Amino acid sequence: MALSGLDIYKLLAKTNCKACGFPTCLAFAMQLAQKKISLDRCPYVSDEARAILESAAQPPMKLVTIGTGDGALKVGNETVMFRHEQKFVNPAGIGFLLEDALPPRTIDEALAKIATLECERVGQRLRPDLIALRNASDDAGKFSALARAAAGRSALNLLLISDSIAALKSALETVRARRPLIMSCAARTPVAHFSLAKEEGLPVVVSGTSLEEVASLASQAKALGVDEMVIALAGGSIVSRIQDFTLAKRSALKRNLRALGYPFIAFTDSADPLLELEEAVSYVARYANIIIMKNYERDVVLPLLVVRQDIYADPQKPVQVEPRVYEIGKVDERSPVLVTTNFSITYFTVAGEVESSKVPSYIISCDAEGMSVLTAWAAEKFTAETITASLGKSGIADRVAHRRLIIPGYVAVLSGKLEELSGWQVSVGPREASGIPSLLKGWK
């Protein structure tokens, strides 16, 4: 839990010696509480005070990394209960369960299907993050073969689930370099799994049937030297799991309960695809950091990816596209020029309608700090002056032989001044983007 300036002040030497560059210890403490300076600037901090201050500076929920490189899944490091307080930091990982007892052909088909689960929304690429491999056969050879197939056919991160340390070690021979998360199938994680995680330097799932049990096991694993852990709650209903995730997150964030300060993993119970989607959405919202699903059909997974994108978007910073000129279709010097704001949803709605009109066009997205048209206009970020500046910066005048500009119907009021400032002839487009195709079809 973050310490206040006064809490920090009580731990300092209180001599006001100014060696830190601040006139008083209190001034130094206030700056430290706001994380504007480092503790090292005071040479008179006792070892005891340093230990307390450094511990308080740790994030209340541990960051856990599964995998390596750009595609690694990072979960945890969250600092708030609600996204409107600040934002959620690391999007929940979404994965799918595969068992080694399945026929090889079914495994092949599943991996092929999982590889197609991607889509683009408001300029962002959405994809799942991991595949969970369960040693249901109790055969180390089969488990190892499944790990080899998954690693060879998919770049997604891996979760290896087995009660057998020998089977896990055998699979690790193939996928160790992928830095998988390891887990036992048991309701209570055996100590042997913590020892393996420590030996291999891998993250491990700590399973228990209650928060008290996982807290005790996490402390035990920590004492053994395991650093990265993910918490799982075995048994219980969907509701009780969500209640426990909420209680655990609150305990970690608000009461600084380190033993529960780890990301949570949830496995879906529902067999019906739509019920499973509902369940997974509930876990994304409250507060699982990894969700493992049985189903990998597009119509179940893609909506879940979209929900995750929305929940993990920064509520104080709208999703934006780069302010510049965009070409839709094979444009030429006679193509129409439309202007809109750089709010992603606005831009992609306009772009979609222009595309469906089949009239090659230019779209200039003006820098309106990611606001939609009416909001930006009301905030004076989308005005005759800013549009004129965007026209100039875009270089569009060199790319078209005409000087006709289409503006959104909601800002028709800007027409006169915009014509005056830019020298372009302004046409007022429809208020809703759905009217764009009929407007462009009449373009000459």
Please select the residue that binds ligand SF4; options are 8, 11, 12, 221, rule is CB under 6 A. 12
Residues within window 131-170 making contact with ligand SF4, judged by CB under 6 A: none
> Among 333, 347, 345, 351, which residue's Cα sits nearest to residue 403?
333
Least distance to ligand SF4, CB of residue 27, Å: 8
Please select the residue that binds ligand SF4; options are 2, 5, 7, 13, rule is CB under 6 A. 13
Please select the residue that binds ligand SF4; options are 6, 19, 57, 72, rule is CB under 6 A. 19
Least distance to ligand SF4, CB of residue 43, Å: 6
Taking the alpha carbons at both ends of the chain, their separation in whole angstroms is: 64
CA dihedral 163, 99, 264, 66 (to 10 degrees): 90
Neighbours of 305 (CB within 10 A): 22
In single-letter form, the type of residue at position 400 comes to V
Residues within window 230-289 making contact with ligand SF4, judged by CB under 6 A: none
* Residue 25 binds ligand SF4 (CB under 6 A): yes
Q: What is the rounded CA–CA span in Å between residue 348 and residue 370?
A: 13
Least distance to ligand SF4, CB of residue 7, Å: 14
Range in contact with ligand SF4 (rule: CB under 6 A) among 16-24, 61-69, 116-124, 429-437:
16-24
Range in contact with ligand SF4 (rule: CB under 6 A) among 22-30, 158-166, 191-199, 284-292:
22-30
In what helix (H) or strand (E) does residue 365 lie, and over which residues does it extend?
strand 361-366
The vertex-82 CA angle with 78 and 83, nearest 5°, equals: 80
* 400 burial type by CB count under 10 A (0-12 exposed, 13-18 middle, 19+ buried): middle
Q: What is the rounded CA–CA span in Å between residue 327 and residue 224?
A: 58
Least distance to ligand SF4, CB of residue 4, Å: 16
Nearer to ligand SF4, 49 or 397 (CB): 49
Range in contact with ligand SF4 (rule: CB under 6 A) among 19-27, 143-151, 154-162, 166-174:
19-27
Least distance to ligand SF4, CB of residue 52, Å: 15
Least distance to ligand SF4, CB of residue 341, Å: 48
* Residue 311 binds ligand SF4 (CB under 6 A): no
Range in contact with ligand SF4 (rule: CB under 6 A) among 21-29, 229-237, 283-291, 344-352:
21-29
* Residue 38 binds ligand SF4 (CB under 6 A): no
* Residue 22 binds ligand SF4 (CB under 6 A): yes
Nearer to ligand SF4, 20 or 33 (CB): 20
* Residue 20 binds ligand SF4 (CB under 6 A): yes
Q: What is the rounded CA–CA span in Å between residue 78 and residue 90?
A: 7
**Binding-site size, ligand SF4 (CB under 6 A):** 13
Q: What is the rounded CA–CA span in Å between residue 151 and residue 91?
A: 23
* Residue 106 binds ligand SF4 (CB under 6 A): no
User: Could you tell me if 443 and 336 are in contact, meaning their C-beta atoms sit under 8 angstroms apart?
Assistant: yes
Give the three-class secondary structure for 219.
helix
119 pairs with which residues across the strands?
Answer: 126
State the maximum Cα–Cα separation within the chain, in Å, rounded to a whole number. Answer: 79
Residues within window 39-98 making contact with ligand SF4, judged by CB under 6 A: 42, 44
* Residue 15 binds ligand SF4 (CB under 6 A): yes
Which token pair is 331?
């444009």
In Å, how far from its chain's centre is CA 236?
27
* Residue 17 binds ligand SF4 (CB under 6 A): yes
* Residue 9 binds ligand SF4 (CB under 6 A): no
DSSP secondary structure letter of residue 424: P
Please select the residue that binds ligand SF4; options are 3, 11, 28, 205, rule is CB under 6 A. 28
> Among 270, 174, 273, 262, which residue's Cα sits nearest to residue 214?
262
Range in contact with ligand SF4 (rule: CB under 6 A) among 10-18, 69-77, 262-270, 277-285:
10-18
The set of residues, in sequence order, having a beta carbon less than 8 Å from that of 105 and lying 6+ positions away, is: none
φ, ψ of residue 352 in degrees (nearest 5): -60, -40
Q: Report the interface residues with ligand SF4, using CB under 6 A.
A: 12-13, 15-20, 22, 25, 28, 42, 44
